[in-house]
């Protein structure tokens, strides 16, 4: 998201308090104040605005799923009012009202961030039929899902028997809104042209939506850099998507998955061709890991390249980073040199990370506008991402991007799918 937008919203937007990560995690027990794009006073009882609204049903009889769709018309708990100043940062934690405010604030924040990268309003896929997105913060269910005009979340028992409502997990909500953005931008392929890679791409892109969005929290960026000392491959909150405790997360972005690893798992037939995975869920997540890992690696490599460009990394450290997978490279040397460089100029490291974050965000937004849902495969996705960098920078990082896709068995430009449609710019 362009930094100038965030500065503008701090002057005129509406304040909410959001947990950057699940509040059961050490260091994230307190929410961070964020400013949303709607002007103070424009978000109404609910919270409600022109794009979405929260309701808190009393004993909702069933989960949404076609043909049972919004709007919900049963009895509900009281809606959450804004404070006298038009903000919602007054809502006390530990209350049912805070769950509603947190869900709205998280979803609206994700939409703000990604509309910043798209440079325009993202129209909901369901807008003609339903108008606004319905948000339900608490249903009797150990999961969360989104669909045609809704997001609803349950809760999960965590370590020590502490229940974690998914509406307090920014990652989980961002992932669900990622699906909504993709359906709005790419659409739904006709069944005969729906590939397993389309479904896997959807899960990967939704994870990346959350990954980029969480890097807009000052708390996350500062703690991550301090903890890793500039070495982002150290296990940290950045690459653990939907972290539910210190030992449990939904998925990990920093993975070693390769397309060849997927042979023999559900999703590839005996000839090595992709088969339909409609409704496969977990398998689609697994099949998306090479794509998620490739783009995560692009982000980290961009960060390191930008540090080298600014002479924040020494030539020796640059050499070690480029050959870090070789057995003769001692990871302890890399960590020591990285920590020393970070200690000299932490603000410059933060600036480089935010620049890398935004470049990946812009490339994802640009590429998603140009993909066609029918016959989509990962090579198409990679080619669109490379083309986005070409439009944004003249191809300055093209070699770095292509290398990271190819090392996962994804070949930019080799796609067998239909050509993408023109960009909506």
pLDDT digits (tens, 9 = 90+) for 343-390: 999 999 999 999 999 999 999 999 999 999 999 999 999 999 999 999
Task: Indicate the pairing of strand 155-157 with strand 163-165.
Answer: antiparallel
pLDDT at residue number 176: 95
Residue ranges per structural domain of the chain = 3-186, 191-406
Q: What is the DSSP letter of 1?
A: -
204 burial type by CB count under 10 A (0-12 exposed, 13-18 middle, 19+ buried) = buried
SS3 270: coil
Distances (CA, A) of 58 to 55, 138, 200, 297, 337: 10, 9, 35, 44, 56
Could you give the CA distance from residue 361 to residue 365 in angstroms, rounded to a whole number? 6
User: Please, which pLDDT band fits residue 245 given cuts at 50, 70 and 90?
Assistant: very low
Per-residue pLDDT of 157-167, as tens digits, reads 766 667 889 99
pLDDT at residue number 163: 81
Distance, CA of 376 to chain centre = 20
Q: Output 289 or 49, whichever has higher pLDDT.
A: 49
Q: Considering the chain, what percentage of its residues have pLDDT values greater than 90? A: 65
Could you give the CA distance from residue 40 to residue 42 in angstroms, rounded to a whole number? 6
Cis preceding-peptide flag for 312 (omega within 30 of 0): no
Whether 425 shows a pLDDT value over 60: the answer reads no
Most confident of 228-237, 318-327, 349-358: 349-358
Whether 328 shows a pLDDT value over 90: the answer reads no
pLDDT at residue number 273: 43
pLDDT at residue number 183: 95
The architecture CATH gives domain 3-186: Roll (3.10)
Q: Is the pTM of this model over 0.85?
A: yes
SS3 125: coil
What H or E segment, with its residue span, contains residue 364?
helix 346-370
User: Please, which pLDDT band fits residue 280 given cuts at 50, 70 and 90?
Assistant: very low
SS3 318: helix
pLDDT at residue number 286: 82
pLDDT at residue number 253: 66
User: Please, which pLDDT band fits residue 416 given cuts at 50, 70 and 90?
Assistant: very low
Phi, psi dihedrals of residue 206, rounded to the nearest 5°: -65, -40
Length of the chain: 425
Radius of gyration of the chain (CA): 21
pLDDT at residue number 249: 45
Could you give the CA distance from residue 299 to residue 292 in angstroms, rounded to a whole number? 11
Q: How many CB atoms neighbour CB 391 within 10 A? A: 15
Could you give the CA distance from residue 139 to residue 61 in angstroms, rounded to a whole number? 9
For the ranges 25-29, 46-50, 116-120, 176-180, the lowest mean pLDDT is seen at: 25-29
Q: Output 422 or 296, whichever has higher pLDDT.
A: 296
Could you give the CA distance from residue 288 to residue 112 in angstroms, rounded to a whole number? 25
Could you give the CA distance from residue 40 to residue 85 in angstroms, rounded to a whole number? 7
Cβ–Cβ under 8 Å, residues 321 and 232? no
Cβ–Cβ under 8 Å, residues 283 and 277? yes
pLDDT at residue number 399: 94
| Per-chain mean pLDDT for the chain | 86
Per-residue pLDDT of 296-313, as tens digits, reads 999 999 999 999 999 998
pLDDT at residue number 263: 66
Per-residue pLDDT of 32-72, as tens digits, reads 999 999 999 999 999 999 999 999 999 999 999 989 999 99
What H or E segment, with its residue span, contains residue 269?
none
Distances (CA, A) of 353 to 63, 235, 325, 350: 40, 17, 22, 5
Per-residue pLDDT of 110-143, as tens digits, reads 999 999 999 999 999 999 999 999 999 999 999 9
Whether 10 shows a pLDDT value over 60: the answer reads yes
Could you give the CA distance from residue 158 to residue 226 in angstroms, rounded to a whole number? 27
Could you give the CA distance from residue 415 to residue 195 in angstroms, rounded to a whole number? 13
Per-residue pLDDT of 390-399, as tens digits, reads 999 999 999 9
């Amino acid at each position: 998201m362009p930094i100038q937008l965030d500065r503008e919203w701090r002057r005129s937007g509406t304040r909410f308090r959001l947990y950057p990560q699940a509040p059961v995690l050490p260091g994230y027990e307190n929410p961070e104040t964020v400013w949303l794009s709607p002007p103070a006073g424009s978000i109404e009882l609910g919270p409600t605005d022109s794009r979405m609204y929260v309701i808190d049903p009393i004993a909702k009889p069933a989960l949404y799923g076609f043909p049972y769709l919004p709007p919900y018309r049963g009895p509900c708990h009281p809606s959450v009012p804004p404070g006298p100043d038009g903000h919602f940062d007054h809502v006390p934690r530990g209350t049912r009202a805070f769950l509603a405010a947190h869900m709205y604030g998280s979803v609206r924040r994700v939409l703000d961030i990604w509309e910043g990268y798209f440079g325009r309003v993202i129209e909901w896929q369901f807008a003609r039929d339903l108008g606004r997105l319905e948000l339900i913060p608490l249903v009797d269910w150990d999961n969360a899902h989104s669909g045609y005009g809704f997001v609803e979340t349950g809760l999960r028992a965590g370590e020590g028997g502490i229940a974690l409502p998914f509406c307090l997990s920014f990652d989980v909500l961002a992932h669900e809104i990622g699906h909504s953005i993709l359906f709005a931008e790419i659409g739904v392929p006709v069944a005969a042209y729906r590939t397993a890679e389309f479904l896997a791409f959807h899960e990967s892109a939704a994870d990346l939506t959350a990954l980029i969005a969480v890097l807009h929290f000052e708390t996350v960026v500062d703690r991550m850099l301090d903890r890793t000392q500039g070495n982002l491959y150290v296990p940290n909150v950045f690459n653990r998507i939907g972290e539910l405790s210190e030992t449990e997360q939904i998925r990990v972005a920093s993975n070693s998955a390769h397309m060849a690893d997927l042979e023999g798992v559900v999703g590839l037939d005996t000839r090595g061709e992709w088969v339909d995975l409609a409704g496969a869920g977990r398998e689609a997540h697994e099949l998306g890991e090479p794509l998620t890992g490739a783009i995560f690696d692009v982000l980290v490599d961009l960060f390191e390249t930008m540090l080298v460009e600014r002479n924040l990394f020494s030539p020796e450290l640059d050499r070690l980073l480029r050959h870090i997978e070789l057995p003769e490279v001692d990871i302890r040397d890399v960590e020591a040199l990285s920590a020393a460089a970070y200690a000299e100029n932490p603000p410059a490291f933060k600036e480089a990370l935010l620049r890398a974050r935004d470049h990946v965000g812009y490339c994802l937004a640009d590429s998603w506008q140009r993909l066609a849902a029918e016959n989509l495969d990962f090579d198409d996705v990679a080619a669109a991402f490379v083309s986005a960098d070409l439009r944004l920078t003249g191809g300055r990082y093209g070699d770095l991007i292509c290398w990271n896709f190819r090392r996962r068995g994804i070949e930019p430009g080799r796609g067998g799918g239909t050509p993408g449609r023109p960009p909506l710019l």
